[in-house]
Structure 1
Amino acid sequence: MTDSMEGVVKDESQSQPKEENVHEKTVSDIKFNFTLLERAVAQFDARYTLRALRSISSLRKRLSGEIIAESIISTYPPNNGTAQVLLRATGLDGDELTQIARRISSTSTGSTKQEKKEPLPEIDVYLAILAQVLLYDGKNYKIGAEFSKALVGRVRDLNRRTLDSLAAKAYFYYSLFYEALDPKPPSKQSPLISIRGTLLAALRSAVLRKDSDTQASVTTLLLRNYLSTADITQADLLVAQTQFPEAATNNQVARYLYYLGRIRAIQLSYTEAHDHLVSATRKSPNSAVATGFYQQSTKLLVVVELLMGDIPDRALFSQSRLERGLEPYFYLVQAVRVGDLQGFLKIVQQNSPTFHRDGTYTLILRLRQNVIKTGIRMLSLSYSRISLRDICIRLGLDSEESAEYIVAKAIRDGVIEASIDHEKGYMQTKQAGDIYATREPGEAFHDRILACLSLHDECVKAMRYPMNQHRLELKNAQEARERERELAKEIQDGDIDEDDAAGEFEGL
């Protein structure tokens, strides 16, 4: 009994120093980032600021109100207004803050008890971002929205170029808080609609100041805002009237391409949507943190490929990061591939909550015509003649008239090679005795020509010529002319014979 009690006491004594070490390590990491921000301002180098921002992901798991409060109290002078605002965001009461202040003063040595200087505005904004992260993880959305609104107003008033990267992160959490407050479905009084003016003003200022970080972040936030409230026309106008910065980070480019692909898919521009979504999935980070984005972009890509008439590769659904999330879409692809209309409708009905959550439900409903066309193609390959009534029964259509209309449209679109006997009510498949009598060889030949032309264009673009080669040729020609003048002058002066000169000219 005594041995077990001693073991428990020993475990508690070992765990307590470990927690204290984690606490001290987190505070020291935050203060080290203060040094990076000061160096970024002194050298006007944004790389140090980006390094401090990248550390937020590792600090996030260890972050707490006590850690932020200790960082603030040990950095700011007493009765500082900015420090008081930041301390209120931590959610600690007066007694807890007093205890933290006493602990800091008791552990401080004589060398550290010097008069504290006013920190840089970059440090203020960095600590405010940490407070935003703490509030968002604690699901204090209303308090976080009010705090973020004041923060972006302060950043806008400061107007410092060394704050550009920090401002982009502040606007990100500002939009995220209001999105969390938004009701489902969004209404006309939606909080998301109320922040559009602030985001548009931030985008206008970022473009005028050539702030690529804030411009890229706010552009993606506005597109997300418009898509959340189904304002596709306004999102399209934003894309048409703005230019995404070339110097944007890879993550922002991936997000922009994803939203652009969603807009084009809704507008029925499936080819453009497919190109954008392929680029977004390729630019998606490989870390486990970005698995959700990779899954979401892949889900939309699968639906767009089905709408284009293509069948995604089966190996796509076997990836470890996608296998579980894409399971409903795998069954959907199987139903579309075989043209099973009843199975397709059953899968859509069973997984409608998942499709609604992913934002692909309306696009999936468009696949009904593709499933019917695939089913008609399968029937045309299986039967040389089939009645419209049997087609109606097999495909689960409402009436023979609708079956006749769908078959006629499939014939016109070139899906099948057949004819309809309207009087007797059946579909007669054309027997292609000679494959060269059909349009298939011509289409294949056309595709090969396009492939060769595109390959030629890519080869021309990939050509590289030596730099300043023409200048080298001009220099050699000029040296030759100067040598001729020297030889002619030597002949006139009598320093060289004509035979020797002829040999020199032959060499030239």
Structure 2
Amino acid sequence: MDVDSEEDTLDNSQPLPEIDLYLHLLVMIYLLDKQDYEQGIRLSCETINKIQILNRRTLDQLSARIYFYYARFYELTGNLAEIRPVLLAAQRTATLRHDDDSQATLLNLLLRNYFHYNLFDQADKLVSKATFPESAGNNQQARYMYYLGRIKAIQLDYTASHTHLNQAIRKAPQNTVTAGFQQAVYKLSIIVHLLMGEIPERSIFRQPVLKKPLVPYLHIVQAVRIGDLSNFQEEIAKYGDVFRKDKNFTLILRLRHNVIKTGIRMISLSYSRISLRDICLKLHLDSEKDAEYIVSKAIRDGVIDAIIDHEKGFMKSKENVDLYSTNEPQNAFNARITFCLNLHNESVKAMRFPLNAHRKELASAEALQF
């Protein structure tokens, strides 16, 4: 009977799939650092084909990282649209296999793919149909919350966007490695704050990681806070390329109405009576009809408490009303209490142990005794 020697057995044996895919991943990272994107695309496609054939739970974390670098190679070469069917099919497969790591990573990659081509409606449909796994890591959860915040901001739901962005800031690692993600989240959060009629805290612009990248947004905040429309338009013209690169230019253009409302509020506090012509000059509007329309809308929205005399063409401010006699303080306290309660519930949920986990330990201990 012929018996193979030990050397022949080692030569003919195939490596484990985990070791094989791990080596593929290391080579992909090396090619990415070397900026050899063509070779990286070929290797990543071969690796993805191997992953689709195998069905091993020990490959879940490796598969998630391989899919990330697979999409990264195509993004750097400008061919993200080509891999969208592959990512959709992989996301469905990961959902059926309960592969939480790959499912979270692929969902974020698909949202990034849609945002790259400004397909926000399709991204919203994907979010409404797909379920993000709760057991995903903080890094993937932070990215997902950032994408949700951007979707809600574009859909004019600024309150929900503000909530998602705050969760993204809390879950993201606070170090210099994730500086790019922190800057992107804070830029969008500042715009959402302004669109909600609030002014961001000045301490945000003093952080070392954010100080230099947020300079254009600081000028926008100052223009909105003062209500100077001409200064606002100058800052947009000056930093327009930066805003377009950050893909926040469309949202910043929406702030024009907030600047005008702030200017009208400042005018109503400064003057008890002022003509529409003077309002037009102060706000740099095109005509008195525009000023009349904007003042009427501000009165209807409750921004100012005044009346318009259409015949004589002036605005007359009413006496200041005691703010604490209204429901505004109660609503503000209610919003803060709700936020604190939600934060407390999330913290308790994060610290909760699995149910009946002690019974498994007792069963194993009894088995060892017998």
Q: TM-score range by the shorter chain?
A: 0.7 to 0.9
Match for 2:54 among 151, 155, 158? 158
Question: Structure 1 stretch 144-153 or stretch 358-367: which is displaced more?
Answer: 144-153
Matched ranges for 1:228-267 at <5 A: 228-267=116-155
Q: Name the CA shift for 1:451/1:254 in 2 (closer, same or farther; >3 Å).
A: closer
Aligned twin of 1:450: 334
Summarize deviations over 1:61-103 as a string: whole Å, max 9, x none: xxxxxxxxxxxxxxxxxxxxxxxxxxxxxxxxxxxxxxxxxxx
Amino acid at match of 2:226: V
Cα distance in 1 between the residues matched to 2:147 and 2:340: 32
2:275 paired residue number:
387
Distance 1:454 1:264, change over 3 A: closer
C-alpha separation in 1, matches of 2:139 and 2:67: 16
Give the counterpart of 1:197 among 75, 85, 93: 85
Q: Give the direction of change, closer, same or farther, for the CA distance of 1:442–1:239 in structure 2 (3 Å limit).
A: same
Partners of 1:233 and 1:456 in 2: how far apart? 32
1:456, distance to aligned residue in structure 2 (A): 11
Matched position secondary structure for 2:150 = helix
* Counterpart residue number, 1:180: 76
User: 2: CA distance between counterparts of 1:266 and 1:423?
Assistant: 40
Which of 142-151 and 372-381 deviates more? 142-151
2-side partners of 1:221 and 1:345: how far apart? 35
1:138 aligned to which of 9, 17, 34: 34
Residues 320-342 of structure 1, C-alpha deviations (whole Å, 9 max, x = no match): 11111111111111110010111
More deviation in 113-122 or 356-365?
113-122
Q: State the partner residue of 1:286.
A: 174
1: CA distance, partners of 2:333 / 2:28:
56
| Structure 1 residues 290 and 458, CA gap change in structure 2 (3 angstroms) | closer
Q: Deviations over 1:289-336 (max 9, x none)?
A: 111101110110000000000000011111111111111111111110
Structure 1 residues 448 and 249 mapped into 2: Cα distance closer, same or farther (>3 Å)?
A: closer
Q: Normalising by structure 2, report the TM-score.
A: 0.87
Provide the C-alpha distance between the structure 2 equivalents of 1:350 and 1:460, rounded to a whole number of angstroms: 43
CA shift in 2, pair 1:180/1:159, >3 Å:
same
**Residues 267-282 of structure 1 mapped to structure 2, 5 A cutoff:** 267-282=155-170
2:15 equivalent to 1:119:
yes
Cα shift at 1:129: 1.0
Q: CA RMSD in A?
A: 2.4
Larger Rg: 1
CA distance in 2, matches of 1:230, 1:262: 11
**C-alpha spacing 1:260/1:344, structure 2 compared with 1 (3 Å):** same
Amino acid in the other structure paired with 2:315 = M
In the TM superposition, residue 420 of structure 1 has moved relative to its aligned partner by 0.8
1:415 to 280, 303, 313: 303
Consecutive unaligned residues in structure 2, runs of 5 or more: 1-5, 349-370
Q: Secondary structure at the match of 2:105?
A: helix
Report SS of the residue matched to 2:315: strand
TM-aligned CA deviation for residue 455 of structure 1:
9.0
Partners of 1:234 and 1:170 lie apart in 2 by 25
Q: Which residue of 2 aligns with 1:168?
A: 64
Greater RCO, 1 or 2 (C-alpha within 8 Å, sep 6+): 2
Provide the C-alpha distance between the structure 2 equivalents of 1:391 and 1:345, rounded to a whole number of angstroms. Answer: 18
Return the offset for 1:147.
Answer: 2.0
Q: 1:162 offset after TM fit, Å? A: 1.0
Q: Aligned with 1:159: secondary structure?
A: coil
Residue 452 of structure 1 and its aligned partner are, at CA, apart by 9.2
TM-score (norm 1): 0.64
Inter-partner Cα distance in structure 2 for 1:162 and 1:173: 19
Shift of 1:216: 0.5
Match of 2:206 among 300, 318, 331: 318
CA apart distance, 1:287: 2.4
Q: Pick from 105, 122, 128: which aligns with 1:217?
A: 105
1:166 alignment partner AA: L
Letter in 2 for 1:222: L
The code of the aligned residue for 2:278 comes to D
1:235 to 1:124, Cα distance in 2 relative to 1, 3 A? same
For 1:277 and 1:152, the matched residues in 2 are separated by 32
Q: Distance in 2 between matches of 1:318 and 1:449?
A: 28
Deviation at 1:197, TM superposition (A): 0.8
Q: How far is 1:149 from its partner?
A: 1.6
Q: Does 1:354 align with 2:242?
A: yes
Separation in structure 2 between the aligned mates of residue 344 and residue 451 of structure 1, nearest angstrom: 31
Give a deviation string over 1:454-487, Cα, whole Å, max 9, x none.
499779978xxxxxxxxxxxxxxxxxxxxxxxxx
1:298 and 2:186 aligned: yes
Q: CA deviation at 1:440?
A: 5.4
CA distance in 1, matches of 2:332, 2:260: 30
Give, in angstroms, the shift of residue 385 of structure 1.
1.2
**Kindly tell me: are residues 112 and 332 of structure 1, through their superposed partners in 2, closer, same or farther at Cα, counting changes over 3 Å?**
farther
CA distance in 1, matches of 2:91, 2:300: 48
Sequence identity percentage: 51
CA distance in 2, matches of 1:138, 1:298: 31
Partner-residue secondary structure (3-state), 2:174: coil
Structure 1 residue runs of 5 or longer lacking an equivalent are 1-110, 183-190, 463-508
Matches within 5 A, 1:43-122: 115-116=10-11, 117-122=13-18
Secondary structure of 2:177's counterpart equals helix
2:24 match: 128
Report runs of 4+ in structure 1 exceeding 6 Å deviation.
Answer: 111-114, 455-462
Query: SS in structure 2 opposite 1:230?
Result: coil
Report SS of the residue matched to 1:320: coil
1:120 maps to a residue whose letter is: L
Going from structure 1 to structure 2, the CA distance change for 1:169 and 1:451 (only over 3 Å counts) comes to closer
